[in-house]
Structure 1
Amino acid sequence: MDGRVNAESTPDRMIELQAQIELLERENERLRRETRRAKQVTHRRAALSLAVIGALCGGTALLLPSVRDLLFSLSGIGLFGAVLTYYLTPEHVLTADVSERVYTAVVENEQAVVSELDLSDERVYLPSTDSGDVRLFIPQHSEYQLPEPEELRSVFVVSASGNQRGVSFVPAGQLLFGEFTETHTLSESSFEGYISQLTDAAVHSFELTTAAEYEVNETEGRLTVECIEPAYNGSVQFDHPLSSFFAVAVATRLGSAVSTTTTFNDETLTTTCQWEPLSEDE
Protein backbone atom coordinates (compact mmCIF):
# COMPACT_ATOMS: atom_id res chain seq x y z
CA MET A 1 0.00 0.00 0.00
CA ASP A 2 2.73 2.47 0.99
CA GLY A 3 4.69 1.54 -2.11
CA ARG A 4 1.71 2.38 -4.35
CA VAL A 5 1.20 5.72 -2.57
CA ASN A 6 4.85 6.65 -3.00
CA ALA A 7 4.84 5.62 -6.65
CA GLU A 8 1.76 7.70 -7.32
CA SER A 9 3.03 10.73 -5.39
CA THR A 10 6.46 10.86 -7.08
CA PRO A 11 5.13 12.11 -10.47
CA ASP A 12 3.01 14.72 -8.67
CA ARG A 13 6.06 15.93 -6.73
CA MET A 14 8.07 16.13 -9.95
CA ILE A 15 5.33 18.16 -11.67
CA GLU A 16 5.18 20.52 -8.68
CA LEU A 17 8.96 20.92 -8.59
CA GLN A 18 9.05 21.51 -12.36
CA ALA A 19 6.44 24.26 -11.95
CA GLN A 20 8.52 25.85 -9.17
CA ILE A 21 11.64 25.78 -11.39
CA GLU A 22 9.76 27.44 -14.26
CA LEU A 23 8.43 30.11 -11.87
CA LEU A 24 11.95 30.81 -10.59
CA GLU A 25 13.29 31.05 -14.15
CA ARG A 26 10.64 33.65 -15.02
CA GLU A 27 11.39 35.61 -11.86
CA ASN A 28 15.14 35.51 -12.58
CA GLU A 29 14.52 36.82 -16.10
CA ARG A 30 12.40 39.66 -14.73
CA LEU A 31 15.15 40.60 -12.27
CA ARG A 32 17.74 40.53 -15.06
CA ARG A 33 15.64 42.92 -17.14
CA GLU A 34 15.23 45.30 -14.20
CA THR A 35 18.96 45.19 -13.49
CA ARG A 36 19.81 45.97 -17.12
CA ARG A 37 17.31 48.83 -17.14
CA ALA A 38 18.72 50.31 -13.92
CA LYS A 39 22.29 50.12 -15.30
CA GLN A 40 21.22 51.80 -18.54
CA VAL A 41 19.66 54.68 -16.58
CA THR A 42 22.84 55.13 -14.52
CA HIS A 43 25.11 55.10 -17.60
CA ARG A 44 22.88 57.51 -19.51
CA ARG A 45 22.81 59.97 -16.63
CA ALA A 46 26.62 59.87 -16.45
CA ALA A 47 26.84 60.36 -20.22
CA LEU A 48 24.42 63.29 -20.04
CA SER A 49 26.46 64.92 -17.26
CA LEU A 50 29.66 64.66 -19.31
CA ALA A 51 27.89 66.00 -22.39
CA VAL A 52 26.59 69.01 -20.43
CA ILE A 53 30.06 69.74 -19.08
CA GLY A 54 31.51 69.49 -22.60
CA ALA A 55 28.85 71.81 -24.00
CA LEU A 56 29.36 74.37 -21.22
CA CYS A 57 33.12 74.39 -21.80
CA GLY A 58 32.58 74.84 -25.53
CA GLY A 59 30.13 77.70 -25.00
CA THR A 60 32.37 79.40 -22.49
CA ALA A 61 35.31 79.14 -24.89
CA LEU A 62 33.46 81.38 -27.33
CA LEU A 63 33.09 84.04 -24.62
CA LEU A 64 36.63 83.86 -23.21
CA PRO A 65 39.16 83.97 -26.06
CA SER A 66 42.12 84.09 -23.66
CA VAL A 67 41.47 80.51 -22.45
CA ARG A 68 39.76 79.28 -25.58
CA ASP A 69 42.25 76.51 -26.35
CA LEU A 70 42.01 75.06 -22.84
CA LEU A 71 38.21 75.18 -22.77
CA PHE A 72 37.91 73.62 -26.23
CA SER A 73 40.18 70.80 -25.05
CA LEU A 74 37.99 70.24 -21.97
CA SER A 75 34.89 70.39 -24.16
CA GLY A 76 36.29 67.72 -26.45
CA ILE A 77 37.21 65.49 -23.51
CA GLY A 78 33.75 65.87 -21.98
CA LEU A 79 31.88 65.12 -25.21
CA PHE A 80 34.15 62.22 -26.10
CA GLY A 81 33.74 60.79 -22.59
CA ALA A 82 29.97 61.09 -22.93
CA VAL A 83 30.00 59.06 -26.13
CA LEU A 84 32.20 56.36 -24.59
CA THR A 85 30.08 56.16 -21.46
CA TYR A 86 26.84 55.91 -23.43
CA TYR A 87 27.93 53.28 -25.95
CA LEU A 88 30.88 51.37 -24.51
CA THR A 89 30.30 51.01 -20.76
CA PRO A 90 29.57 47.31 -20.02
CA GLU A 91 25.98 46.79 -18.95
CA HIS A 92 26.25 43.24 -17.66
CA VAL A 93 29.13 43.48 -15.18
CA LEU A 94 28.05 42.42 -11.70
CA THR A 95 30.03 42.62 -8.49
CA ALA A 96 31.17 39.32 -7.05
CA ASP A 97 28.83 39.81 -4.10
CA VAL A 98 25.75 40.27 -6.31
CA SER A 99 26.57 37.39 -8.65
CA GLU A 100 27.34 35.12 -5.69
CA ARG A 101 23.92 35.84 -4.20
CA VAL A 102 22.23 34.97 -7.48
CA TYR A 103 24.29 31.79 -7.78
CA THR A 104 23.55 30.82 -4.16
CA ALA A 105 19.81 31.24 -4.70
CA VAL A 106 19.88 29.00 -7.78
CA VAL A 107 21.99 26.38 -6.00
CA GLU A 108 19.69 26.33 -2.98
CA ASN A 109 16.75 25.59 -5.25
CA GLU A 110 18.63 22.80 -7.01
CA GLN A 111 19.68 21.35 -3.67
CA ALA A 112 16.07 21.50 -2.51
CA VAL A 113 15.03 19.43 -5.53
CA VAL A 114 17.77 16.88 -4.81
CA SER A 115 16.80 16.68 -1.12
CA GLU A 116 13.08 16.48 -1.87
CA LEU A 117 13.63 13.51 -4.16
CA ASP A 118 16.11 11.93 -1.72
CA LEU A 119 18.81 11.53 -4.36
CA SER A 120 22.40 10.37 -3.86
CA ASP A 121 25.49 12.49 -3.20
CA GLU A 122 27.02 11.61 -6.58
CA ARG A 123 27.76 14.45 -9.03
CA VAL A 124 28.39 13.34 -12.60
CA TYR A 125 29.04 15.63 -15.58
CA LEU A 126 27.93 13.98 -18.82
CA PRO A 127 28.17 15.04 -22.47
CA SER A 128 24.72 15.00 -24.06
CA THR A 129 23.71 14.49 -27.68
CA ASP A 130 23.84 18.23 -28.36
CA SER A 131 27.22 19.41 -29.63
CA GLY A 132 29.28 20.99 -26.88
CA ASP A 133 26.58 20.50 -24.24
CA VAL A 134 27.29 18.93 -20.85
CA ARG A 135 24.72 18.15 -18.16
CA LEU A 136 25.10 17.65 -14.41
CA PHE A 137 23.48 14.32 -13.52
CA ILE A 138 22.58 13.48 -9.91
CA PRO A 139 21.53 9.82 -9.78
CA GLN A 140 18.84 8.53 -7.47
CA HIS A 141 21.08 5.80 -6.06
CA SER A 142 24.79 5.69 -5.25
CA GLU A 143 24.97 2.47 -7.31
CA TYR A 144 23.92 3.86 -10.66
CA GLN A 145 24.17 3.45 -14.40
CA LEU A 146 24.57 6.29 -16.86
CA PRO A 147 21.33 7.22 -18.65
CA GLU A 148 21.09 7.60 -22.40
CA PRO A 149 22.35 11.00 -23.59
CA GLU A 150 18.96 12.07 -24.97
CA GLU A 151 17.37 11.45 -21.56
CA LEU A 152 19.58 14.15 -20.05
CA ARG A 153 17.63 16.85 -21.88
CA SER A 154 14.88 16.65 -19.26
CA VAL A 155 15.35 17.91 -15.71
CA PHE A 156 13.83 14.72 -14.32
CA VAL A 157 15.44 11.61 -15.75
CA VAL A 158 12.86 8.83 -15.49
CA SER A 159 14.41 5.83 -17.21
CA ALA A 160 12.97 2.35 -17.40
CA SER A 161 15.86 1.17 -15.21
CA GLY A 162 15.74 2.46 -11.64
CA ASN A 163 19.54 2.71 -11.54
CA GLN A 164 19.47 5.31 -14.32
CA ARG A 165 16.98 7.67 -12.71
CA GLY A 166 17.80 11.06 -11.21
CA VAL A 167 17.83 14.73 -12.20
CA SER A 168 19.78 16.60 -14.87
CA PHE A 169 20.77 20.26 -14.57
CA VAL A 170 22.62 22.71 -16.78
CA PRO A 171 25.94 23.01 -14.88
CA ALA A 172 27.16 26.38 -13.61
CA GLY A 173 30.39 25.98 -15.61
CA GLN A 174 28.73 25.38 -18.99
CA LEU A 175 28.55 29.02 -20.11
CA LEU A 176 31.94 29.76 -18.55
CA PHE A 177 33.48 27.01 -20.64
CA GLY A 178 31.68 28.35 -23.71
CA GLU A 179 33.26 31.75 -23.09
CA PHE A 180 36.63 30.06 -22.57
CA THR A 181 36.47 28.26 -25.93
CA GLU A 182 35.57 31.49 -27.73
CA THR A 183 38.53 33.42 -26.34
CA HIS A 184 41.28 30.77 -26.28
CA THR A 185 43.03 28.58 -28.81
CA LEU A 186 42.81 25.21 -27.11
CA SER A 187 45.82 22.95 -26.70
CA GLU A 188 45.20 19.87 -28.88
CA SER A 189 48.44 17.99 -28.28
CA SER A 190 48.74 17.96 -24.49
CA PHE A 191 46.03 17.25 -21.94
CA GLU A 192 48.16 18.84 -19.23
CA GLY A 193 48.63 21.91 -21.40
CA TYR A 194 44.85 22.05 -21.75
CA ILE A 195 44.42 21.97 -17.94
CA SER A 196 47.05 24.69 -17.61
CA GLN A 197 44.98 26.86 -19.93
CA LEU A 198 41.89 26.22 -17.79
CA THR A 199 43.57 27.21 -14.52
CA ASP A 200 45.08 30.29 -16.13
CA ALA A 201 41.63 31.35 -17.38
CA ALA A 202 40.06 30.74 -13.97
CA VAL A 203 42.63 33.08 -12.37
CA HIS A 204 43.23 35.77 -14.98
CA SER A 205 40.28 35.77 -17.40
CA PHE A 206 37.34 35.02 -15.10
CA GLU A 207 39.00 36.03 -11.80
CA LEU A 208 37.22 33.20 -10.00
CA THR A 209 40.20 32.62 -7.72
CA THR A 210 43.43 34.38 -6.76
CA ALA A 211 45.60 31.35 -7.56
CA ALA A 212 45.20 27.76 -8.73
CA GLU A 213 47.43 24.69 -8.66
CA TYR A 214 46.67 21.36 -10.30
CA GLU A 215 47.86 17.78 -10.49
CA VAL A 216 46.97 15.46 -13.38
CA ASN A 217 47.17 11.68 -13.41
CA GLU A 218 45.95 10.53 -16.81
CA THR A 219 46.80 6.88 -16.06
CA GLU A 220 44.38 6.78 -13.13
CA GLY A 221 41.94 9.24 -14.69
CA ARG A 222 42.17 11.95 -12.05
CA LEU A 223 42.59 15.72 -11.91
CA THR A 224 42.96 17.63 -8.64
CA VAL A 225 42.75 21.43 -8.63
CA GLU A 226 43.36 23.62 -5.56
CA CYS A 227 41.87 27.11 -5.84
CA ILE A 228 43.04 29.63 -3.24
CA GLU A 229 40.57 32.27 -2.04
CA PRO A 230 37.79 31.54 -4.53
CA ALA A 231 35.55 34.49 -5.47
CA TYR A 232 32.45 32.42 -4.65
CA ASN A 233 31.79 30.99 -1.22
CA GLY A 234 33.63 27.69 -1.06
CA SER A 235 31.29 26.29 1.59
CA VAL A 236 28.57 26.11 -1.08
CA GLN A 237 29.94 23.07 -2.87
CA PHE A 238 26.96 21.94 -4.96
CA ASP A 239 28.04 22.61 -8.57
CA HIS A 240 30.46 25.33 -7.46
CA PRO A 241 31.39 27.49 -10.52
CA LEU A 242 35.07 26.53 -10.29
CA SER A 243 34.43 22.81 -9.84
CA SER A 244 31.79 22.90 -12.54
CA PHE A 245 34.05 24.76 -14.97
CA PHE A 246 36.83 22.17 -14.69
CA ALA A 247 34.42 19.22 -14.80
CA VAL A 248 32.61 20.52 -17.90
CA ALA A 249 35.94 21.20 -19.61
CA VAL A 250 37.30 17.70 -18.89
CA ALA A 251 34.02 15.98 -19.86
CA THR A 252 33.99 17.91 -23.14
CA ARG A 253 37.63 17.17 -23.89
CA LEU A 254 37.35 13.44 -23.15
CA GLY A 255 33.76 12.95 -24.33
CA SER A 256 33.04 10.85 -21.26
CA ALA A 257 31.47 11.03 -17.80
CA VAL A 258 33.36 12.92 -15.10
CA SER A 259 32.49 12.65 -11.40
CA THR A 260 33.57 15.28 -8.88
CA THR A 261 34.20 15.71 -5.18
CA THR A 262 34.75 19.13 -3.62
CA THR A 263 36.11 20.24 -0.24
CA PHE A 264 36.81 23.64 1.27
CA ASN A 265 39.43 24.20 3.99
CA ASP A 266 41.57 27.20 4.97
CA GLU A 267 40.26 29.39 2.13
CA THR A 268 41.20 26.70 -0.42
CA LEU A 269 38.65 24.96 -2.62
CA THR A 270 39.86 21.54 -3.71
CA THR A 271 38.12 19.81 -6.60
CA THR A 272 38.88 16.28 -7.74
CA CYS A 273 37.61 15.16 -11.13
CA GLN A 274 37.65 11.45 -11.93
CA TRP A 275 36.90 9.56 -15.12
CA GLU A 276 37.38 6.16 -16.67
CA PRO A 277 40.94 6.12 -18.06
CA LEU A 278 41.30 5.48 -21.76
CA SER A 279 42.86 2.19 -22.74
CA GLU A 280 46.13 2.16 -24.66
CA ASP A 281 44.25 1.13 -27.81
CA GLU A 282 42.09 4.29 -27.52
Structure 2
Amino acid sequence: MSARTLIWTPMPTAEVQRRLHEVGVGPSALVPVPTGTVLLPPPSSALRQNLVIPDTARKLAGASLLVYWNDDAAVVVAFGSAFGRGWSFGASDAVVRLNAEVKRPGAVGRVFDRLVTVYTQRWRAQEKHRQAALAHLVKVLPQADEEQVAQRLADWETGGPRAVTGMLEALALPDVAKVADLAGEGRADLWLHQLPAPRALPRWYRWVFAVVLVGSAIAAVQAGLPGPLAAVVVLPLTIAWVTYVVRVARQPVKGKPINTALPVIPVTQGSAPTE
Protein backbone atom coordinates (compact mmCIF):
# COMPACT_ATOMS: atom_id res chain seq x y z
CA MET A 1 0.00 0.00 0.00
CA SER A 2 1.29 3.44 -0.88
CA ALA A 3 1.29 6.06 1.85
CA ARG A 4 -2.07 7.51 2.87
CA THR A 5 -2.78 10.83 4.56
CA LEU A 6 -5.82 12.14 6.37
CA ILE A 7 -6.63 15.20 8.43
CA TRP A 8 -9.43 15.44 10.99
CA THR A 9 -11.12 18.55 12.33
CA PRO A 10 -14.11 18.82 14.66
CA MET A 11 -15.69 21.44 12.36
CA PRO A 12 -18.86 20.57 10.41
CA THR A 13 -18.17 19.65 6.80
CA ALA A 14 -20.07 22.52 5.17
CA GLU A 15 -18.18 25.06 7.24
CA VAL A 16 -14.83 23.40 6.57
CA GLN A 17 -15.51 23.41 2.84
CA ARG A 18 -16.56 27.06 2.79
CA ARG A 19 -13.74 28.36 4.98
CA LEU A 20 -10.97 26.43 3.23
CA HIS A 21 -12.19 27.61 -0.18
CA GLU A 22 -12.27 31.20 1.04
CA VAL A 23 -8.60 31.10 2.04
CA GLY A 24 -7.53 28.85 -0.84
CA VAL A 25 -6.37 25.88 1.25
CA GLY A 26 -6.46 22.45 -0.36
CA PRO A 27 -7.29 20.67 -2.59
CA SER A 28 -8.77 17.84 -0.59
CA ALA A 29 -11.75 15.50 -0.49
CA LEU A 30 -14.04 15.96 2.51
CA VAL A 31 -15.73 13.09 4.34
CA PRO A 32 -18.47 13.96 6.85
CA VAL A 33 -18.25 11.98 10.10
CA PRO A 34 -20.18 12.29 13.39
CA THR A 35 -17.17 13.86 15.14
CA GLY A 36 -16.54 16.47 12.43
CA THR A 37 -14.83 16.19 9.07
CA VAL A 38 -12.06 14.05 7.59
CA LEU A 39 -10.00 15.54 4.77
CA LEU A 40 -8.16 13.35 2.28
CA PRO A 41 -5.49 15.18 0.24
CA PRO A 42 -4.65 14.03 -3.30
CA PRO A 43 -1.91 11.39 -3.65
CA SER A 44 0.18 13.81 -5.72
CA SER A 45 0.60 16.22 -2.81
CA ALA A 46 3.63 16.25 -0.54
CA LEU A 47 3.50 16.63 3.23
CA ARG A 48 4.73 20.23 3.14
CA GLN A 49 1.72 21.08 0.95
CA ASN A 50 -0.69 19.23 3.22
CA LEU A 51 0.52 20.74 6.49
CA VAL A 52 -1.33 23.98 5.80
CA ILE A 53 -4.64 22.07 6.02
CA PRO A 54 -4.38 20.91 9.67
CA ASP A 55 -2.84 24.24 10.63
CA THR A 56 -5.75 26.15 9.08
CA ALA A 57 -8.25 23.74 10.64
CA ARG A 58 -6.57 24.21 13.99
CA LYS A 59 -6.88 27.98 13.71
CA LEU A 60 -10.57 27.69 12.86
CA ALA A 61 -11.60 24.96 15.29
CA GLY A 62 -8.91 24.95 17.97
CA ALA A 63 -7.75 21.41 17.21
CA SER A 64 -6.88 19.13 14.32
CA LEU A 65 -5.20 15.81 13.68
CA LEU A 66 -2.80 14.74 10.92
CA VAL A 67 -2.27 11.04 10.24
CA TYR A 68 -0.17 9.39 7.56
CA TRP A 69 0.76 5.75 7.20
CA ASN A 70 1.67 2.84 4.96
CA ASP A 71 1.85 -0.91 5.50
CA ASP A 72 4.78 -0.73 7.91
CA ALA A 73 4.70 2.59 9.76
CA ALA A 74 2.42 5.40 10.87
CA VAL A 75 2.67 8.94 12.23
CA VAL A 76 -0.03 10.74 14.23
CA VAL A 77 0.30 14.49 14.88
CA ALA A 78 -2.13 16.48 17.04
CA PHE A 79 -2.37 20.25 16.55
CA GLY A 80 -3.62 22.32 19.45
CA SER A 81 -1.34 25.28 18.82
CA ALA A 82 0.91 26.54 16.04
CA PHE A 83 3.19 23.56 16.62
CA GLY A 84 1.83 20.04 16.49
CA ARG A 85 3.24 17.15 18.46
CA GLY A 86 3.38 13.71 16.96
CA TRP A 87 4.22 10.11 17.62
CA SER A 88 5.50 7.52 15.19
CA PHE A 89 4.78 3.81 15.06
CA GLY A 90 6.88 1.08 13.50
CA ALA A 91 10.56 0.27 13.18
CA SER A 92 12.90 3.22 12.74
CA ASP A 93 13.79 2.29 9.16
CA ALA A 94 10.10 1.92 8.32
CA VAL A 95 9.34 5.38 9.71
CA VAL A 96 12.25 6.83 7.72
CA ARG A 97 10.86 5.28 4.53
CA LEU A 98 7.36 6.54 5.31
CA ASN A 99 8.61 10.09 5.89
CA ALA A 100 10.58 9.98 2.66
CA GLU A 101 7.47 8.83 0.79
CA VAL A 102 5.18 11.56 2.11
CA LYS A 103 7.71 14.40 2.35
CA ARG A 104 9.46 13.76 -0.97
CA PRO A 105 12.57 15.69 0.02
CA GLY A 106 15.63 16.34 -2.10
CA ALA A 107 18.93 14.57 -1.56
CA VAL A 108 20.02 16.87 1.27
CA GLY A 109 16.57 16.73 2.82
CA ARG A 110 16.58 12.93 2.80
CA VAL A 111 19.88 12.79 4.66
CA PHE A 112 18.76 15.39 7.20
CA ASP A 113 15.38 13.74 7.73
CA ARG A 114 16.97 10.34 8.24
CA LEU A 115 19.33 11.73 10.89
CA VAL A 116 16.52 13.53 12.70
CA THR A 117 14.15 10.56 12.52
CA VAL A 118 16.70 8.03 13.73
CA TYR A 119 17.65 10.33 16.62
CA THR A 120 14.08 11.04 17.72
CA GLN A 121 13.03 7.39 17.50
CA ARG A 122 14.98 6.77 20.71
CA TRP A 123 12.46 8.87 22.59
CA ARG A 124 9.66 6.40 21.99
CA ALA A 125 11.11 3.94 24.48
CA GLN A 126 11.47 6.60 27.18
CA GLU A 127 8.64 7.01 29.65
CA LYS A 128 9.02 10.78 30.02
CA HIS A 129 8.54 11.32 26.29
CA ARG A 130 5.52 9.02 26.21
CA GLN A 131 4.00 10.93 29.11
CA ALA A 132 4.62 14.24 27.35
CA ALA A 133 2.97 12.93 24.17
CA LEU A 134 0.07 11.56 26.22
CA ALA A 135 -0.46 14.90 27.96
CA HIS A 136 -0.49 16.72 24.63
CA LEU A 137 -2.93 14.32 22.97
CA VAL A 138 -5.34 14.41 25.89
CA LYS A 139 -5.15 18.20 26.01
CA VAL A 140 -5.94 18.55 22.31
CA LEU A 141 -8.53 15.76 22.36
CA PRO A 142 -10.04 15.72 25.88
CA GLN A 143 -12.57 13.05 24.89
CA ALA A 144 -9.72 10.55 24.44
CA ASP A 145 -9.42 7.47 26.65
CA GLU A 146 -6.19 8.29 28.48
CA GLU A 147 -5.43 4.70 29.45
CA GLN A 148 -5.91 3.39 25.93
CA VAL A 149 -3.85 6.21 24.43
CA ALA A 150 -1.03 5.38 26.85
CA GLN A 151 -1.19 1.74 25.75
CA ARG A 152 -1.02 2.72 22.09
CA LEU A 153 1.97 4.99 22.69
CA ALA A 154 3.76 2.18 24.52
CA ASP A 155 3.08 -0.15 21.59
CA TRP A 156 5.16 2.04 19.28
CA GLU A 157 6.81 -0.93 17.58
CA THR A 158 3.52 -1.82 15.89
CA GLY A 159 3.12 0.31 12.77
CA GLY A 160 0.92 0.42 9.71
CA PRO A 161 -2.90 0.46 9.54
CA ARG A 162 -3.24 -1.39 12.84
CA ALA A 163 -1.48 1.43 14.68
CA VAL A 164 -3.67 4.04 12.98
CA THR A 165 -6.91 2.27 13.83
CA GLY A 166 -5.85 1.62 17.42
CA MET A 167 -4.77 5.19 18.07
CA LEU A 168 -7.84 6.78 16.47
CA GLU A 169 -10.14 4.54 18.48
CA ALA A 170 -8.21 5.38 21.66
CA LEU A 171 -8.67 9.06 20.81
CA ALA A 172 -12.45 8.45 20.72
CA LEU A 173 -12.55 8.88 16.94
CA PRO A 174 -13.88 5.50 15.75
CA ASP A 175 -15.60 7.15 12.79
CA VAL A 176 -12.26 8.56 11.64
CA ALA A 177 -10.71 5.11 12.10
CA LYS A 178 -13.36 3.72 9.76
CA VAL A 179 -12.52 6.31 7.12
CA ALA A 180 -8.83 5.48 7.51
CA ASP A 181 -9.57 1.79 6.96
CA LEU A 182 -11.66 2.52 3.87
CA ALA A 183 -9.07 4.94 2.49
CA GLY A 184 -6.40 2.30 3.03
CA GLU A 185 -8.50 -0.11 0.99
CA GLY A 186 -8.54 2.40 -1.86
CA ARG A 187 -12.23 3.25 -1.51
CA ALA A 188 -11.53 6.97 -1.98
CA ASP A 189 -8.92 6.69 -4.73
CA LEU A 190 -11.26 7.47 -7.61
CA TRP A 191 -12.24 10.78 -6.04
CA LEU A 192 -8.71 11.65 -4.96
CA HIS A 193 -7.29 11.18 -8.45
CA GLN A 194 -9.92 13.61 -9.76
CA LEU A 195 -8.79 16.42 -7.45
CA PRO A 196 -6.84 19.33 -8.96
CA ALA A 197 -3.11 18.77 -8.69
CA PRO A 198 -1.50 20.96 -6.01
CA ARG A 199 0.98 23.48 -7.33
CA ALA A 200 4.45 24.03 -6.00
CA LEU A 201 7.38 26.02 -7.28
CA PRO A 202 10.27 24.04 -8.79
CA ARG A 203 13.24 23.63 -6.47
CA TRP A 204 15.42 25.77 -8.71
CA TYR A 205 13.13 28.72 -7.97
CA ARG A 206 14.10 28.39 -4.33
CA TRP A 207 17.79 28.32 -5.16
CA VAL A 208 17.41 31.43 -7.31
CA PHE A 209 15.65 33.20 -4.46
CA ALA A 210 18.35 32.13 -2.01
CA VAL A 211 21.09 33.44 -4.32
CA VAL A 212 19.26 36.74 -4.86
CA LEU A 213 18.59 37.15 -1.14
CA VAL A 214 22.17 36.40 -0.10
CA GLY A 215 23.54 38.52 -2.92
CA SER A 216 21.37 41.45 -1.87
CA ALA A 217 22.50 41.12 1.73
CA ILE A 218 26.17 40.98 0.73
CA ALA A 219 25.76 43.98 -1.58
CA ALA A 220 24.08 45.95 1.20
CA VAL A 221 26.91 45.15 3.61
CA GLN A 222 29.62 45.99 1.08
CA ALA A 223 27.89 49.27 0.32
CA GLY A 224 28.30 50.14 3.98
CA LEU A 225 24.61 50.32 4.71
CA PRO A 226 23.73 50.12 8.40
CA GLY A 227 21.70 47.16 9.62
CA PRO A 228 18.26 48.82 9.44
CA LEU A 229 18.84 50.02 5.87
CA ALA A 230 20.15 46.60 4.84
CA ALA A 231 16.97 45.08 6.23
CA VAL A 232 14.96 47.54 4.14
CA VAL A 233 16.68 46.08 1.07
CA VAL A 234 16.27 42.40 1.98
CA LEU A 235 12.87 42.41 3.69
CA PRO A 236 10.77 43.49 0.68
CA LEU A 237 12.35 40.73 -1.41
CA THR A 238 11.42 38.15 1.21
CA ILE A 239 7.86 39.45 1.57
CA ALA A 240 7.37 39.51 -2.21
CA TRP A 241 8.68 35.97 -2.53
CA VAL A 242 6.50 34.57 0.25
CA THR A 243 3.45 36.33 -1.18
CA TYR A 244 4.13 34.84 -4.60
CA VAL A 245 4.64 31.33 -3.21
CA VAL A 246 1.38 31.50 -1.24
CA ARG A 247 -0.51 32.78 -4.28
CA VAL A 248 0.81 29.95 -6.45
CA ALA A 249 -0.01 27.34 -3.81
CA ARG A 250 -3.59 28.57 -3.37
CA GLN A 251 -4.44 28.94 -7.04
CA PRO A 252 -5.67 25.33 -7.53
CA VAL A 253 -8.33 25.94 -4.86
CA LYS A 254 -9.37 29.55 -5.33
CA GLY A 255 -9.37 29.18 -9.09
CA LYS A 256 -11.72 26.17 -9.07
CA PRO A 257 -15.39 25.71 -8.12
CA ILE A 258 -15.75 24.76 -4.48
CA ASN A 259 -17.10 21.28 -5.25
CA THR A 260 -14.20 20.60 -7.61
CA ALA A 261 -11.38 21.65 -5.30
CA LEU A 262 -13.04 20.51 -2.05
CA PRO A 263 -15.65 17.88 -2.93
CA VAL A 264 -17.69 16.10 -0.28
CA ILE A 265 -17.48 12.36 -0.90
CA PRO A 266 -19.56 9.50 0.57
CA VAL A 267 -16.70 7.12 1.33
CA THR A 268 -18.41 5.63 4.37
CA GLN A 269 -21.50 4.77 2.34
CA GLY A 270 -19.48 2.80 -0.19
CA SER A 271 -20.77 4.84 -3.11
CA ALA A 272 -18.90 5.55 -6.31
CA PRO A 273 -18.72 8.94 -7.99
CA THR A 274 -20.95 9.44 -10.99
CA GLU A 275 -19.68 10.77 -14.28
* Pairwise TM-score range, normalised by the shorter structure: under 0.3
Larger radius of gyration: 1
Q: With the length of structure 2 as denominator, give the TM-score of the two structures.
A: 0.22
1 or 2 for the larger relative contact order (CA 8 Å, sep ≥6)?
Answer: 2
